[in-house]
Structure 1
Amino acid sequence: MTERAPIHVGTGEPILLLHPFMMSQNVWKKVVPLIAGMDPADPSAALDVADPSASLDVADPSARAAGRYEVYAPTMPGHNGGVKGHRFLDTAELADDMERRLDALGWDTAHIVGNSLGGWVAFELQRRGRARTLTGIAPAGGWSRYTPAKFEIVGKFLAGFPVWLFTLAFRQQVLKLPFTRYLAHFPISASPDRLSDDDLVDIIDDVTHCPAYYQLLVKSLLTPGLLELAEAQCPTHLVICEKDRVLPHPRFTRHFTQHLPESTTITHLDDVGHIPMFEAPQRVADLIVDFVDRYASPAREDPPREALGG
């Protein structure tokens, strides 16, 4: 597995984007330019990160007009393009790696956004004092050590083991099969037509280069989920994806809605699946920026809204 440079664009306050389980920084490539304020007409705004040599790093202010945010989207250990992890990964090790990356950038803190597993890691980083704000999009980890929900989600991924082995054996050849788009969309988007051909190429590439598939599943059986959520020390935004089949609402969101502080902003994002960046990049970018704008320095002149709309 070839290590890949993170997507790193823009100038301004730092935003860290963390991807879901089995995916990579690829999931953010449509969203990053929108957050960073890049001109869609600029060729560099079209990120192509499937090839490690094509990864885009234009954080240098001289590379483009100054924006509001500097956006950094790495791939976590054990995933496609990430560093090699230990034999059995856990969220603490993933958070350790992110802290090393933040330190290398000189970022004591950042606005942290995470989807699914990335949301779990985001909460771990918040607990360590590294988050200015936290946005969890369909975050995982909403369970305790013996909560049935934990064993249900592990069971879902274990049930997909034969499909993973089949995909691993045939790789991009599975794109020629008529049922591939349907199988791929089920854990990702609200409907099959929401995934483009390019999306499918990225998804298959990520799934077939993910040793974390079995590493994290084994370790998660032995460890608790997220604890001490009520002690969140930074502004927090919980995003619930209404057509999420992996962590469906309310069964997998109840832990968050019951234990996060009352000040938490909750957004219900309608008509999207578990990884909404593929099907609704503009909506995802808008909800991230609208929330972070409330707390970014200098503050906006207009008063913040009381709640974000889906």
Structure 2
Amino acid sequence: MSARVWSGVVPMLDDRFDLIVPTAAGHRGGPKIEGTASIRALTDATERILDDRGLETVHIAGNSMGGWMAIELARRGRASSVCAFSPAGLWSASEPASGTRATLAHVKKLADVTRRVTPTLLRFELARRIVFREAALHGDRMGFQEAVDAYRDLADCDVAFELFATTENLEVYSSSSCPVTVAWSANDRIFPPDQFGKIAYERLPHARFVELHDVGHVPMIDDPALCARVIRESIGENS
């Protein structure tokens, strides 16, 4: 997706924090990426944003691939804290193509072949709920234009298939110097917690784990207020 998916969360944080809300390189509205897309390359591009602003460390929140990238930035010493919502990368390099990444590729292919008709259908709440069922429990809560933007973010993502095919994975991050919160959506259809939770505990042994109820893989769609609260708590704020 893109930075637009955080639009409901931003107003609940910008009264307390100076926010940087970038779209990942290679994604719709983000900077171009040279060569083959990889998590390392996208993390490099994000790190350059910090360098350009003269920022050594920041609090970082991310969802799915963004959650994985947040942990990689912590590994590089660029994070004061991390809040990773359903982070990607918790697979092995040998995972067969029939695994979760194949599900993601299927969603992308479906967006590609229906790009002419889907935006019109998104005027209807039921259509929004169906189209975004892999990402959210309550896709119908999105407004029409918000849904169209989210759909186009996926359909126009130039690097999706390269990232789905990556041989990279989220390796063990055992440092306790950076507080890490892993916030897992209880109803995540992309990375079900009962399948990936144990792996997350093994690879992130010092992380704090939180289960989020009544939300799907992209919880910012279902409950922006919940996401904002979890981010504040991950930083150490209680309200």
Partner of 1:235: 179
For the residue of structure 1 that corresponds to 2:215, the secondary structure is coil
Indicate conservation of the 8 Å contact 2:139/2:222, yes or no. Answer: no
Q: Which is bigger in relative contact order (C-alpha 8 A, separation at least 6)?
A: 2
Residue 34 of structure 1: how far off its partner (Å) = 0.6
Instruction: Answer with 226-235 or 97-106: which moved more.
Output: 226-235
For the residue of structure 2 that corresponds to 1:112, the secondary structure is strand
Partner of 1:190: 137
- Distance in 1 of aligned mates of 2:108 and 2:233: 38
Match of 2:18 among 51, 55, 70: 70
Instruction: Answer with 265-274 or 224-233: which moved more.
Output: 224-233
Q: Which amino acid aligns with 2:234?
A: F
Larger radius of gyration: 1
In the alignment, structure 1 residue 156 sits paired with structure 2 residue 112: no
Indicate conservation of the 8 Å contact 2:9/2:228, yes or no. Answer: yes
Deviations 1:32-68 (A, max 9, x none): 111122xxxxxxxxxxxxxxxxxxxxxxxxxxxxxx3
Partner of 1:93: 41
- Distance in 2 of aligned mates of 1:275 and 1:124: 20
- Distance in 2 of aligned mates of 1:194 and 1:79: 24
Q: Which runs of 5+ in 1 are unaligned?
A: 1-22, 38-67, 295-303
Indicate conservation of the 8 Å contact 1:189/1:195, yes or no. Answer: no
Residue 178 of structure 1: how far off its partner (Å) = 8.3
- Distance in 2 of aligned mates of 1:171 and 1:77: 25
Q: Which amino acid aligns with 1:94?
A: L
Indicate conservation of the 8 Å contact 1:114/1:136, yes or no. Answer: yes
RMSD of aligned alpha carbons:
2.3
For the residue of structure 2 that corresponds to 1:253, the secondary structure is helix
Deviations 1:136-193 (A, max 9, x none): 1011011221245x85111102323541222334463343688632332212211343
What TM-score does the superposition give when structure 2 sets the normalisation length?
0.90
- Sort the Cα spacing of 1:192 and 1:99 in 2 relative to 1 into closer, same or farther, 3 A: closer
What TM-score does the superposition give when structure 1 sets the normalisation length?
0.71
- Distance in 1 of aligned mates of 2:39 and 2:236: 28
Partner of 1:211: 158
Residue 228 of structure 1: how far off its partner (Å) = 2.2
Indicate conservation of the 8 Å contact 1:113/1:122, yes or no. Answer: yes
Partner of 1:266: 209
- Sort the Cα spacing of 1:179 and 1:281 in 2 relative to 1 into closer, same or farther, 3 A: closer
Partner of 1:166: 113
Q: Which amino acid aligns with 1:69?
A: F
Partner of 2:2: 24
Partner of 1:289: 232
- Sort the Cα spacing of 1:217 and 1:147 in 2 relative to 1 into closer, same or farther, 3 A: closer
For the residue of structure 1 that corresponds to 2:140, the secondary structure is helix
Q: Which runs of 5+ in 2 are unaligned?
A: none
Q: Which amino acid aligns with 1:285?
A: A
Indicate conservation of the 8 Å contact 2:39/2:168, yes or no. Answer: no
- Sort the Cα spacing of 1:232 and 1:198 in 2 relative to 1 into closer, same or farther, 3 A: farther
Residue 30 of structure 1: how far off its partner (Å) = 1.2
- Distance in 2 of aligned mates of 1:177 and 1:215: 32
Indicate conservation of the 8 Å contact 1:167/1:174, yes or no. Answer: no
Residue 85 of structure 1: how far off its partner (Å) = 1.6
